Amino acid sequence: MTARPPLQPGATLGIVGGGQLGRMIALAAAPYGLKVHIFAPDADSPAFDVSSERTVAAYDDVAALARFAASVDVVTYEFENIPAEAAEALAAKAPLHPNAAALATTQDRLTEKRFINDLGIETAPFRAVDTPEDLTRALAEIGRPAVLKTRRFGYDGKGQRMIRAEGDADAAAILADFNGAPCILEGFVPFEAEVSVVAARGADGAFAAYDPCANEHRDHILAVTRVPAPGIAPQTEAAAIGIARRIAEALDYVGVLAVEMFLVPQADGPARVVVNEIAPRVHNSGHWTIEGATASQFDQHVRAVCGWPLGDPSRIGGMAVAMHNLIGDDVEAWATILARPGAHLHLYGKGEARPGRKMGHVTELLPKT
């Protein structure tokens, strides 16, 4: 699409995806006087509860996508696994932010890692794996432990397998579990911390990053985010933000993105930054910004996709912030959390608290140390 003038209040923001991220984007759009139209396949989608218009249809229903896009002023999305044909159908009818290139680059782990390396940015060592022979060769070259992942549609540890010792299983048996899906083998990175940079890029090319945050995972699912990242050196922070900026600029990105990174300790200086993956969307590790920053990641995303100036990403009063996810039956503690002074409870309006399901999160601002 050609460049368009900024949206006016009263315009309609279309969001593909009806989960908690779409819900929180919709909640951020409302104070700007925007209407929101959610496109999602599940009639019980949490984001429907806070939107003015709803389309229930499958993500590969190209006709429904086209009707949806034609009815809104701009389209964005809450997840990167939008098929290329769907992205085309959307972009033909409305501005799509972030753009289709960002989707294509980030929804395939192989394409993504090559793109990052081409920018001169380090990733884990990796090899494409389509056959048992590929896997045997890749293991020989990269070493163990290593992780075999599907190139597409993986999240929260789904679609991946750690390969540890020699003789863990033979290559053909391992690959059989992946049902012929194209895969990638990723080498081990001896990291001391996982951080992410959540940042926004505006339609005018302006760039605004939040302070890098430290992330702790449990069972491959984000459990805790802390900002500022404990013990991170200023040079490492600057390097991490610089990497996010180069990625955003190379994609001609408009909206919020998150870049997950490993910090690898160095004997003779600040930690080395190795990129793990890019999320072309608002991100769980940015939820702390709702209360912790002047403009939240959801505000920034709305501002960016509407063609408006970005807001201020600085932390409120310079305070430290901690965000804990409520996974599965963690959510049963809601009443206790409600009674805790200063705890900000966020529940996503999901029905059943299945194991591993993100049901909500809690944010606490901590006095400046």
Residues within the interface to a copy of itself (CB under 8 A): 6, 9-10, 23, 26-27, 30-36, 48-52, 294, 303, 308-309, 311-312, 316-317, 319, 331, 334-335, 338-339, 341-342, 344-349, 351, 360, 365
Q: How far is the CB of 33 from a copy of itself (least distance, A)?
A: 3
Q: How far is the CB of 282 from a copy of itself (least distance, A)?
A: 15
Q: How far is the CB of 345 from a copy of itself (least distance, A)?
A: 7
User: Of the two residues 33 and 356, which places its CB atom closer to a copy of itself in the complex?
Assistant: 33
User: Of the two residues 229 and 331, which places its CB atom closer to a copy of itself in the complex?
Assistant: 331
Q: How far is the CB of 47 from a copy of itself (least distance, A)?
A: 10
User: Of the two residues 261 and 305, which places its CB atom closer to a copy of itself in the complex?
Assistant: 305
Q: How far is the CB of 366 from a copy of itself (least distance, A)?
A: 11
Buried residues in 51-79 as b, exposed as e (16+ CB within 10 A): beebbbeebebbebbbebbeebbbbbbbb
| H/E stretch holding 127 | strand 126-129
**What's at 112, amino acid-wise?**
E
**From the CB of residue 200, how many other CB atoms can be counted at a distance below 10 Å?**
29
DSSP codes joined into one string, 239-288: HHHHHHHHHHHHTT--EEEEEEEEEEEETTEEEEEEEEEEESS--GGGTT
User: Of the two residues 109 and 361, which places its CB atom closer to a copy of itself in the complex?
Assistant: 361
Burial of residue 106 (number of CB atoms within 10 Å: 0-12, 13-18, 19+): buried
C-alpha 19/C-alpha 156 separation (Å) is 15
User: Of the two residues 98 and 292, which places its CB atom closer to a copy of itself in the complex?
Assistant: 292
